[in-house]
């Protein structure tokens, strides 16, 4: 277990949207689902290292903005070509209106 790191205020991310978060030389994608749950994954698509935060969130899916690679951001599962490798996910919690992630570092 690493250290919880503050990302942003919960209200900074719209429902069914994603935000980029860079920390410690790593880039993450932070999601807010349509039912107001928060999730975090690696920020780059496993297909060709494109920032997922520029993509489209549809329900529980994040779609890469470049090649339509799709992942379930709740568990990182790749949903089909061209995304063939799962995304790494990270624990997220909301405390006092702030979104925190545990990068494991």
Partner 1 sequence: MNVIATPRDYGLLGRDAKLAEEMGLASAQWYQCPMPRKRLKELMQRRDAPAILDTVIWIASFLVSGGLAYYFWPTWAALPFFLIYGVLYGSSTDSRWHECGHGTAFKTRWMNDAIYHIACFMIMREPTVWRWSHTRHHTDTIIVGRDPEIAVMRPVLILKVISMFFAIPQTWGAIKSIVRHAFGRLGDEEATFIPEMERGKVYLVARIWIVIHVAVIASAFYAESILPMLFVGPLPTMYGAWVHVMTGLTQHGGLAEDVLDHRLNSRTVLLNPVLRFIYWNMNYHIEHHMFPMVPYHALPELHKDLQPYLPRPNSGIIDAYRDIIPALWRQRKEPDWHIEPKLPAGVSPVTAAAE
- What does the binding site for partner 1 look like in residue numbers (CB under 8 A)? 17, 47-49, 54-56, 58, 63, 65-68, 70, 81-82, 84
User: Which residue, 4 or 51, has its beta carbon nearer to partner 1?
Assistant: 51
What length does the chain have?
A: 105
* Shortest Å, Cβ 64 to partner 1: 8
* Shortest Å, Cβ 84 to partner 1: 6
User: Which residue, 34 or 104, has its beta carbon nearer to partner 1?
Assistant: 34
**DSSP per residue, 76-91:** TEE-BTTB-SPPPEE-
Sign, Cα dihedral of 62, 20, 40, 33:
negative
User: Which residue, 81 or 105, has its beta carbon nearer to partner 1?
Assistant: 81
- CB atoms < 10 A from the CB of 78, how many? 18
């Amino acid at each position: 277990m690493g250290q919880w790191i503050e990302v942003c205020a919960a209200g900074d991310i719209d429902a069914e949207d994603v935000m980029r978060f860079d920390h410690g030389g790593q880039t993450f994608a932070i999601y807010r689902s349509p039912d107001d749950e928060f999730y975090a994954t690696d920020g780059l698509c496993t297909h060709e290292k494109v920032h997922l935060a520029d993509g489209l969130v549809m329900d529980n899916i994040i779609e890469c903005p470049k090649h339509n690679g799709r992942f379930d951001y709740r568990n990182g599962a790749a949903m089909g070509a061209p995304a063939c490798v799962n995304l790494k996910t990270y624990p997220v919690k909301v405390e006092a209106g702030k979104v925190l992630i545990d990068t494991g570092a």
